[in-house]
Structure formats: C-alpha cells, structure tokens
C-alpha cells in the first residue's frame, strides 16, 4: 500500500496540523464537493436535470431550466437523512450512524412574461430557491488493537528538533501529560513516548486498544436567485447568483488504553480535537437549453468558482492516566481565525429525450477540477503555499455522470436514477478509487395545480482512513451508506 499524503484526506480533520493552522486540504475537498439536493423528483432521477429543467432544483445546476415554466409554482421538500458507517481496523469491525431531519429545498418561480409565440421572446421567469448542496452529518467509530505504533509516535516525530519549551499544539499537550518526554542526552530536542519508557526501552511495547470516535455535523446550502428567458420555446437561457452558506462542526476523540497490562506504567490517554467553521460564499452560474426538435433537449451550464470567507474556532485537549494512579489533563488555548477558500469551477452538459406522453430519459456529464481549489489569506499573513501545493499534488479532475428516467401513467409517475461521482484523488493515492455512487427511485402524483412526490436515494462510498502518519500505521477501511428520503409538495397558480 502506498503511504502518501492521503492519510490526511477526508475525515482526518486536523490531526495533521497540530503545530499551527486548523484548516487542512481536507476542508478544500469537503467544501468543494457538491451533491445537489432539491426536490423529490430531482433526487429520484439522479439529479440529471441539466437539459431537462422544469424543477426548482435546477436553479443550483442549470438556471436555463427555469425557462420551461409557464406559471407560478411554489415547492417545499423536507428530507430524512440517515448515514451509516462500517469501519474495519486490524480485524475489528464497528458500526455507527447519524440521522437528521432537514429542509432540503424550498422555493418559488414567478413568470414576468408568458406567450405562446414560436419566435422571439416568449417568456421571462424570476425564481428563488434554497437548495441543500451537501450534508456533512456523520458518525464513525474505529476500534481495534494496535500492535505496531501509537499516535504518540506521530507526535514525537512532529516535535523532533523543537526545544521542549517551544513545542505546542497536540505534541505540546502530550508533553504536558507525560505521553511524551525528552530523551536523555538529546539536549531537550528529541522525544520518546511512554510506550518506549521515554527512550529507555528502544523497542517500544504496544498491543493497546485503540478507539477513535469521529463526528461531524453541518451542511452547505445555496440561496439561488435566478432569471431566465424563453426564446420561442426553442432556446432557454438563464443565470443564477448563488449565495452559499456553510456550517460545520467537526470533532474526533482518539483513545488508547492498555487493557491487557502489556505496557509499563501506562494505562490510557484520550485526545480530543474540535473545529467549528462557518462562512458565506458567492458564485455565478450561466446555462442554456436548446430544443432542436420537439422530443430532444440539450443543456449546458457553467459555474464560476465559489469564493468563501470562512471563520474557524479551534480547540483541543488531552488527558492521561498511569498505573501508579497519576492522572493529568491539559487544554491548549483555543483560537479563532478567518481565511478565504475558492472552490473549483464546474462545467456540465446534458441531454433529455421526451418519449411522447409516456415518459422521458435524461443524462448529465459534469467536469470538476479539484486541483483548482485554493486557500488565501484573510485575517493573517499566512500564505497557504504548502496547502495549495498539496491540493495540486493530491487532487485531480473528477468526471461525474448522472442518469434518470420517468414513466408517466396518467396522473402517476414512476422514476429511477443513477449517478456516479468520480474520485477527486490522483492515481497512486490510497483513496484513488474513492468514487461515490447513488441509486435512486421514486413516485409522484400530479394534477393541474398540485403535485406530491416521494423519493429514496442511497449514496455509498468506501475510503481508506489513516489515523496518523507513521510507517507502521494500518488504515481503517470505512464504508458509508447515506439513505435519503425526500418528499415534495408543489402548488401551481
């Protein structure tokens, strides 16, 4: 297995930056990935609406689809979200889950102009929709026996070469609670751990139980303000100003305990790391849908990068206990700071085929280059050069495919969809195959002035998770299954 920088990717939170900054390139990925929320119809058909339109969810995808509307409509889409994780670590399995009830979409469209002419300007629509673009909620437990290393070894490596009065962050906290101490004869610049009796035992003793509890709450959503024009019912163009809101609360607690009594004097330690983030970003979206023949629609959309101004609050603490009864606690000083994150641009194309009055088929392609994500300074003079270089080295272009179909049975509709979101990592990274697949389906009922739709979607992915950077660390293999049940009420006027 290739031990590259991917050990810090995805849900390692801030364990890799215990000396200074609380944000890592993980966050560049979290906040750049979009899994468009929206109505139950949109969810059921895999989100393949770039060419289809006619749904308020498209304001965040292809605003040209707003031009399909010919009357005022209001829609409301509550959702039940359930995320189950299965972690395998050194032969031990652990399950955990998180669930949430949320408002996935709410919005309206208002026609300023609507004509039946087949040339010239046939319609102008204004619309607003609040669309959830990602749900961060998840809980994961990793547990097992580690016979090869400890997170204390990782901290000792970080602290190496720093005088003992100058180490800070997690290594400094570990030093304060006697998980680390200086090695005799090092002049205060090299460190041993309690597992090696602080360097007195050159062959460290392991076999401790390890448990890491990872929790994350929050979401990203977009307030989409859109306008569209209908040109002879053949060409639809649209634009969206996206005001993006982001809230995230991330924490992990890493615990190691000598339950078998193998390690001299050591009983246990527990380290906790917390990051709270919030911010606002802005983006602009342009789209077009062309209907060359009655049964076919072709759609194209372009999204500028979203520029976020983010505020973070970071704190961590540690406690330790030894066989002789000694007990220690330490809290590092919390700190706040702000920074700017620019997410990648996006481009997409789609086609929709109308099968008379019996149904339709639709397909989308989306291009995202995660290498374009960038941190930049805000509240300090830190230049983020290393983080931005890591983004270029680790991330790659992702190709996303979405497919959907709808069958009409008078006033009733049956729908199905599939989507695959390509891995954002380059070839050779441990998570190079970390793509996400979505299977979905749903039903609907529509009359002239009322609609009700229900959908179910399952989004799954696997990842390799490294708890810390050490040559002897084994990864945990984690599988996530996210179950989403969405209902939509729509009213036309």
pLDDT value for 81:
96
Is the pLDDT at 383 greater than 70? The verdict is yes
Is the pLDDT at 361 greater than 80? The verdict is yes
Nearest-angstrom CA–CA distance, 478 and 430: 13
pLDDT value for 377:
79
pLDDT value for 126:
98
Tokens of 171: 């290594």
Average pLDDT over residues 52-58: 95
Nearest-angstrom CA–CA distance, 288 and 51: 8
Query: pLDDT by residue (tens digit) across 199-243?
Result: 998 789 999 999 999 999 999 999 999 999 999 999 999 999 999
Which CATH class, in words, describes the domain spanning 5-150+206-364+374-492?
mainly beta
Query: pLDDT by residue (tens digit) across 62-100?
Result: 999 999 999 999 999 999 999 999 999 999 999 999 999
Is the pLDDT at 252 greater than 60? The verdict is yes
Predicted TM-score of the model (pTM) = 0.90
Residue pointed to by tokens 């374009």:
372
Query: pLDDT by residue (tens digit) across 421-440?
Result: 999 999 999 899 999 999 99
Nearest-angstrom CA–CA distance, 327 and 167: 21
Instruction: Grade residue 380 by pLDDT with cuts at 50, 70 and 90.
Output: low
pLDDT value for 456:
98
Is the pLDDT at 458 greater than 60? The verdict is yes
Nearest-angstrom CA–CA distance, 172 and 491: 59
> Cα 424 vs. chain centroid, distance in angstroms?
12
Is the pLDDT at 295 greater than 50? The verdict is yes
Is the pLDDT at 21 greater than 50? The verdict is no
Average pLDDT over residues 19-43: 81
* Mean per-residue pLDDT over the chain, rounded: 92
Integer CA distances (angstroms), 135 to 4, 326, 452, in order: 28, 42, 24
Radius of gyration of the chain (CA): 26
Query: pLDDT by residue (tens digit) across 106-141?
Result: 999 999 999 888 889 999 999 999 999 999 999 999
pLDDT value for 245:
97
Query: pLDDT by residue (tens digit) across 308-360?
Result: 999 999 999 999 999 999 999 999 999 898 999 999 999 999 999 999 989 99
Q: Find, among 1, 110, 179, the residue nearest to 492 by Cα.
A: 110
């Amino acid at each position: 297995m290739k031990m590259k920088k991917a050990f810090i990717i995805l849900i390692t939170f801030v364990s890799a930056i215990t000396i200074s900054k609380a944000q890592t390139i993980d966050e560049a990925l979290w906040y750049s990935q979009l899994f468009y929320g929206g109505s139950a119809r949109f969810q059921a058909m895999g989100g393949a609406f770039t060419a289809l339109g006619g749904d308020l969810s498209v304001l965040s995808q292809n605003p040209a689809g707003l031009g399909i509307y010919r009357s005022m409509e209001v829609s409301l889409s509550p959702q039940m979200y359930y995320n189950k994780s299965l972690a395998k670590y050194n032969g031990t399995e652990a399950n955990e889950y998180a669930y949430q009830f949320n408002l996935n979409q709410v919005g309206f469209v208002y026609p300023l102009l609507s004509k039946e002419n087949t040339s010239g300007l046939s319609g102008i629509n204004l619309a607003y929709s609040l669309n959830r673009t990602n749900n961060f909620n998840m809980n994961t437990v990793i547990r097992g026996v580690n016979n090869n290393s400890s997170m204390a070894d990782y901290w000792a490596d970080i602290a190496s070469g720093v005088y003992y009065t100058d180490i800070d962050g997690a290594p400094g906290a570990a030093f304060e609670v006697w998980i680390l101490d200086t090695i005799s004869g090092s002049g205060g610049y090299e460190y041993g751990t309690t597992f090696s009796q602080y360097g007195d035992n050159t062959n460290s003793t392991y076999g401790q139980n390890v448990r890491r509890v990872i929790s994350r709450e929050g979401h990203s959503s977009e307030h989409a303000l859109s306008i569209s024009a209908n040109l002879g019912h053949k060409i639809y163009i649209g634009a969206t100003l996206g005001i993006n809101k982001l809230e995230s609360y991330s924490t992990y607690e890493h615990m190691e305990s000598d339950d078998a009594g193998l390690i001299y004097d050591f009983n246990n330690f527990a380290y906790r790391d917390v990051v709270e983030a919030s911010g606002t970003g802005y983006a602009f979206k342009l789209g077009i849908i062309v209907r060359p023949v009655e049964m076919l629609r072709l759609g194209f959309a372009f999204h500028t990068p979203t520029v976020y101004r983010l505020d973070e609050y970071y704190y961590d603490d540690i406690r330790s206990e030894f066989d002789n009864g000694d007990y220690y606690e330490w809290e590092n000083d919390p700190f706040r700071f702000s920074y700017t994150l620019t997410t990648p641009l996006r481009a997409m194309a789609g086609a929709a085929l109308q099968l008379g009055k019996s149904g339709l088929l639709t397909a989308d392609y989306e291009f995202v280059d995660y290498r374009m994500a960038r941190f930049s300074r805000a509240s300090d003079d830190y230049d983020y050069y290393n983080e931005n270089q890591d983004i270029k080295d680790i991330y790659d272009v992702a190709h996303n495919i979405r497919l959907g179909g709808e069958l009409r049975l008078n006033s009733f509709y049956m729908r199905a969809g599939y989507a695959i979101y390509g891995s954002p990592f380059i070839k050779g990274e441990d998570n190079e195959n970390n793509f996400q697949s979505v299977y979905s389906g749903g039903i609907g009922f529509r009359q002239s002035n009322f609609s009700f739709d229900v959908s179910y979607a399952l989004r799954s992915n696997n990842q390799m998770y490294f708890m810390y950077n050490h040559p002897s660390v084994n990864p945990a293999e984690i599988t996530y299954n996210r179950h989403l049940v969405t209902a939509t009420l729509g009213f036309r006027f």
